[in-house]
Structures are given as C-alpha cells and as structure tokens.
Amino acid sequence: MDITQPDLTSLFDQLGLPSEPDAVETFIRQHSIAAEIHIAEAPFWTQAQKHFIAEALAEDAQWTEVIDHLDAQLRA
C-alpha cells in the first residue's frame, strides 16, 4: 500500500524531479503550458512523466488534486 502524502513535493519525487521547495518553485517559474495543451502533453515532460500524469488523471488517483494544482500553477 502506498502511503505517500500527495503534495507537490511528493509529486515531484514521483516524477523524478528535484523536490526541494526552491526547486519546485524554480520549475514552475521556468515552465508554462498553453491553454490548449493537456498537462500530460506538455513538451517538457519525459515519456515516463507523461505516462504517470495521464494515468493518474485517468484513474482519478490520489495524485489528481495535486496534478490539477500544478496544472493551474503552470498556466498562471
């Protein structure tokens, strides 16, 4: 059973990205997604990251709310 708390830090861990607060902030500041692009299809993700995001959203997994939050931040 996965007991990972779904938050931005643990999402970045799952995606294999640096997850320290400054690193997350920098990532969000340096990346953005156009309105017509689905978050899982953003060009900066690897294939594995795209797959994780798409699968988590499709399954309405514990990560959905956190991914939606990240999505909103990447479009701000």
- Please give the model's pTM, rounded to 2 decimal places: 0.90
Nearest one of 19, 18, 1, 22 to 9, comparing CA atoms: 19
Do you know the residue count of the chain? 76
* More confident position, 70 or 2: 70
5-55, pLDDT tens digit by residue? Answer: 789 999 999 999 999 999 999 999 999 999 999 999 999 999 999 999 999
63 DSSP assignment: T
Q: What is the pLDDT of residue 41?
A: 97
Cβ atoms within 10 Å, residue 13: 13
How far from the centroid of its chain's Cα atoms is residue 9's Cα? 10
